Amino acid sequence: MLAAQCVSLRCVGDHGMIGFIRIFVLVLLVLTGASPVFCEDAPAPASVPQTKDADRSRSIDPYHPPVETAVFLEISPGTTTAEQLTHYWKDPLRETSVGDSTVRLYSKEPLNHIEVTLKENIVRSIVVQLDIPFPEGQVRAVLQSELLKSKPVLIPDESGEIIGEVFPEKGVILLFAGKDENGGYLVRQLGIEPVSADPFILRAEAVLPDQPTEAKRDIRDAIRLKPDNARGYWLMAQINLKEGNIESALLNCEKAIRLDEQKPGYHLTFAEAMIQMNRIEEAKQYLQATVGICERYPHEKARALTMLGEVYRTSRNPDYELAYECHADAIKLAGALLEHTSPAIRLAAKDVLFEAHLATAKVIAWGKWDKKEEAITKWIERAKFLAKDPEIAAAKRYSREYPFKIASCALATLVAVPEKLNIDLYIEDILDAGNQLIKNVKDPILESKYHWDTSIALYDAVQIFQFRKQYSSALKNGELAAKYMEIGIKNRSSDMDMYLLGRLYFRLGSIHAIVNQNHRAAIMWFDLAKPIFEKLLPKMDTDALGKMGVTLVSMGVSYWVTDQREESILLTERGLRQIERAVQGNTMSKEALAIPYANLSKMYHELGDKEHAAKYTKLAAGVNAGKVR
């Protein structure tokens, strides 16, 4: 029966697809030479429910068909009763009981073998066994007006062999009987079951790497059909991460984990969301616990170790040796899976190997190691070699981003050793790889993501140039980074991402102000940064407040020099309040108050406000005040 041979499809769809089976029967009649017989005027089953307006949101889109179970000669699985089946098809050739279900066998010329499964007096599935397998291309071509509006998804078995395809919106499955001499699939069975969540999830997983927007639509349909769909929430979280909606990613991961806490992948995505929110210490503890539940899934454990190694590297008190050990363990685990019989596990292991090699290069760059530059080059070259593996290279869902990841890793390592090498070639590699991704992508979520990723890599270049005091190059690449970041952030909703954009604006303004003494150019960038910082201030913890306070005080100087004195005092006093809160929270020393006190004292003195000038002069004296900078 269908449920045993394919995927289990249990949820009920909406209403029948008029004319679907008539087209299909016509194909079979032509191919077999039999005479066509149609029942043109037969009414649809009275019990088929009409789609509610709330559920027809996709039907008004000509590119996306409505979600509705197909009708087979007036019979609709999920809605047709046993009595209606008898009314339309008369008595079966044979009827047998299988557990709590009943299976009826029919023959309706020219289809000699039709199995109908009933449970609780309702038709649950229809399976049509074809006497002669037909090329899948011919079947789909004739069904174009109906089925091809529903994009099929191939069904693999555990070894990765394709055994059929399913049309999620229609509940239709075509099972294959091998391939013809041209390599095309041959259809041996047609199955219909009520529309259910599983095929939408299957298709969402298949298209998510290239078309996350399409996948998002499928996941929403799957969750509508099955609200407790743990895998659906997990997949949605992955899309949320791609689009920079980190809070939604956390929420969807939490739902997935509540429904099924035994899936390591759900926990790893949750940890990734925490990392992207800069909740590094929490992510570290969570990953340490997650490694323990991955024992039955070595490929997942290898990925968890790679993530944990990155967290050790980027934490407040980094432990580079422990990070290195994590990556070494990940490489050992993944290496043992390179010959695994499952293609999915094999590819996942190869991807972890690639990522762990790049991560090791970063650990070496930031840690204290002998022959650092030589070791970094060695690990990146190994990653390049792994990227050329034929199997992983053919799996574009993984390898498409490899050139960009290699280029951005190479540049990121130079942030830790910025005095070495000419980085212009590294920047060219970043732009070539990033622009290639942007050019080839056709999905708005990915287009935004690749703009964002390119901007982050260019941000690394800005920091390197600043460290080297090559300020014209820092400005040039910073302005380019801002252009990419402004495009990339349009659909992102992460506060961390907004903060990075604000910091980039501030960094560019600071170069103009401090290095070039061009405060008018500086405030052009500060004007862009201000609304971002104002929005984020109420959400910041005490660790970040002090840094933000210093930023605002520094910006205030440029506004003062350009005679925007009211704005200057406003920014300086706002910055002072943040520094005071940081001092009270013991995240910043009291000496940090000296500069804002001194600046305000001078500002109010020049304005002739003796009372405020005296107040801040006294405060500044208490913390060894400096002068306006």
Report the C-alpha gap between 424 and 587 in whole angstroms: 38
Residue 119: pLDDT band with limits 50, 70, 90: very high
CA–CA distance from 415 to each of 256, 363, 421, 466, 602 (Å)?
37, 12, 11, 10, 38
Name the β-bridge partners of 184: none
Q: What is the pLDDT of residue 95?
A: 95
Q: What is the pLDDT of residue 427?
A: 95
Report the C-alpha gap between 108 and 66 in whole angstroms: 29
**Burial (0-12, 13-18, 19+ Cβ within 10 Å), 32:** middle
Q: What is the pLDDT of residue 182?
A: 86
Q: What is the pLDDT of residue 139?
A: 76
Span 561-589, average pLDDT: 95
| Residue partners of 428: CB distance under 8 A and separation at least 6 | none
CA dihedral over 306, 311, 314, 320, signed as positive or negative: negative
pLDDT of 175 above 50: yes
C-beta separation of 407 from 362 below 8 A: no
Q: What is the pLDDT of residues 123-169, one digit of tens each?
A: 999 999 988 898 888 777 766 655 657 888 998 887 788 999 999 99
- What are the DSSP E strand ranges found in 65-180? 94-98, 101-108, 111-119, 122-135, 153-156, 162-167, 172-179
DSSP letter assigned to residue 81: B
**Burial (0-12, 13-18, 19+ Cβ within 10 Å), 225:** buried
Report the C-alpha gap between 435 and 450 in whole angstroms: 8
Report the C-alpha gap between 333 and 330 in whole angstroms: 5
Q: What is the pLDDT of residue 147?
A: 65
Report the C-alpha gap between 239 and 396 in whole angstroms: 17
Q: What is the pLDDT of residues 394-447, one digit of tens each?
A: 998 889 999 999 999 999 998 887 676 788 999 999 999 999 999 999 999 999
| Residue partners of 435: CB distance under 8 A and separation at least 6 | 454
Amino acid at 585: G
Report the C-alpha gap between 263 and 521 in whole angstroms: 52
Report the C-alpha gap between 133 and 110 in whole angstroms: 14
pLDDT of 227 above 80: yes
Helices 197-207 and 212-225: crossing angle in degrees, nearest 10, is 160
| Residue partners of 101: CB distance under 8 A and separation at least 6 | 117, 118, 119, 124
Buried b (16+ CB within 10 A) or exposed e, 404-424: bbbbbbbbbbbbbebeeeebe
Q: What is the pLDDT of residue 146?
A: 58
Look up residue 487 and give its two tokens: 């495009």
- Out of 33-37, 370-374, 498-502, pick the least confident: 33-37
- Out of 27-41, 166-180, 491-505, pick the least confident: 27-41
Q: 56 or 257: which carries more pLDDT confidence?
A: 257
**In the predicted model, what is the mean pLDDT of the chain?**
87
Span 2-9, average pLDDT: 30
- Residue 191: its H or E element: strand 185-192
Q: What is the pLDDT of residue 47?
A: 32
Residue 628: pLDDT band with limits 50, 70, 90: very low
Residue 22: pLDDT band with limits 50, 70, 90: very low
Residue 33: pLDDT band with limits 50, 70, 90: very low
Q: Which candidate, 114, 50, 55, 65, places its Cα nearest to that of 85?
A: 114
pLDDT of 11 above 60: no
Q: What is the pTM assigned to this prediction?
A: 0.84
Q: What is the pLDDT of residues 265-295, one digit of tens each?
A: 999 999 999 999 989 999 999 999 999 889 8
Buried b (16+ CB within 10 A) or exposed e, 474-500: bbebbebbbebbbbbbeebebbebbbb
In the chain, % of residues over pLDDT 70: 87
C-beta separation of 507 from 462 below 8 A: yes
Q: Which candidate, 510, 517, 607, 618, places its Cα nearest to that of 566?
A: 607
Span 358-387, average pLDDT: 94
Amino acid at 103: V
**Beta carbons within 10 angstroms of residue 87's beta carbon:** 12
Amino acid at 568: S
Angle at 410 between CA 404 and CA 412, to 5 degrees: 100
130 SS3 class? strand
- Out of 46-55, 86-95, 228-237, 477-486, pick the least confident: 46-55
Span 107-124, average pLDDT: 92
C-beta separation of 111 from 99 below 8 A: no
